[in-house]
Amino acid sequence: MGIVNHEQYCQILDNAKQNKFAYPAINVSSSETANAALLGFKMANSDGIIQVSTGGGKFASGMGVGSMAKGAIALADYVRAMAAEYDINIALHTDHCHPQYVDSFMMPLIAETARRRAKGEPNLFNSHMYDGSELPMAENIAASKKLMELCLANDIILEIETGIVGGEEDGHDTSDIPADKLYTTPEDMVAAAKELGSMGRFMLAATFGNVHGVYKPGNVKLTPTILRDGQAAVVEALGADARLDLVFHGGSGSDINEIHETLDYGVIKMNIDTDTQYAFTRPIVDHMFKNYDGMLKIEGEVGNKKVYDPRSYGKAGEQGMADRIAQACKDLRSEGTSLGKTI
């Protein structure tokens, strides 16, 4: 058990696709959040995906280093070491690499995988996401194909995005994008399936009004039927075997009925970040308020080491995030589906 290899990754993705469920893909930025992700998947008896964004990698490397690639490598190695202690299967993924970060983030990570493979060691990451959605479709596909070649040579699955996910994540703000850009067209999905699907397995984050972050009810207009219509267009153009492995970005705060509808249309991975960030932080805030006088050395007092020790509130944050991930597994129908030792 632990971090899957390429064949095992394909098996767990096939399991989701065939049985119409999706894996939560959890962004981590520290050993604490990585531990929470592993615990949450274990609690739900679900295989899962743990991912690192450019911002998460940079944060993990510390203020004295500030390297998104080095931080991502460190997190991947940490997750691999801890995942070996769990009876579930975990895939390692990177999230939202925009074109300006390909050379400083994705390329060093692919090069590190190639270096390790040459020594007979496992891949660093199982999959990477290239987000070229800000580019014209033709440029997005052309750049994706170049990266796809590198990924295929190293048994890495590439995820791409067509259309633009609204909102803000890791400092990348698309909140002013015109509404029509938030929806992938059937033509986009057919083009992706034709150009990349002919090369090998990939995942597509097709957008249907989804946004990063959590918004009040009614502020986000999801149209899951876009995924249905796009899949139908792919099948009509290229055959049933060309059906896409779809990814739902901006899953935090989404309506459960809309989530379930996307599973029927081929979503096998849903990114959850905002909700898990809050679930980690909320118990810590509660600890601070309840132990205010012990957290601070005020009016000549010495505080209470038992409550200002980071371990005291770190465990609460880990459990809070793990609980939210277990709930996500239930919502996405991956609860109880781990292939465990069978792969």
Any idea which residues carry the catalytic annotation? 95
Instruction: Give the whole-angstrom CA distance, residue 292 versus residue 267.
Output: 44
Convert 276-307 into a string of H (helix), E (strand) and C (coil).
Answer: HHHHHHHHHHHHHHHCHHHHCCCCCCCCCHHH
Instruction: Give the whole-angstrom CA distance, residue 308 versus residue 210.
Output: 39
Instruction: Give the whole-angstrom CA distance, residue 94 versus residue 76.
Output: 10
Convert 178-245 into a string of H (helix), E (strand) and C (coil).
Answer: CHHHHECCHHHHHHHHHHCCCCCCEEEEECECCECCCCCCCCCCCCCHHHHHHHHHHHHHHCHHHCCE
Q: What residues contact residue 138 under an 8 Å CB cut-off, 6+ apart?
A: none
Instruction: Give the whole-angstrom CA distance, residue 314 versus residue 146.
Output: 42
Instruction: Give the whole-angstrom CA distance, residue 158 versus residue 149.
Output: 10
**Which letter, b or e, does each residue of 184-202 get, where b requires 16 or more Cβ atoms within 10 Å of its Cβ?**
bbbebbbbbbebbbeeebb
158 SS3 class: strand
Residue type, 117: R
Q: What residues contact residue 205 under an 8 Å CB cut-off, 6+ apart?
A: 129, 131, 159, 160, 161, 162, 165, 246, 247, 248, 249
Burial of 205 (0-12, 13-18, 19+ CB in 10 A): buried
The DSSP annotation for 87-114 comes to SSEEEEEEEEE-GGGIIIIIHHHHHHHH
DSSP code for 73: H
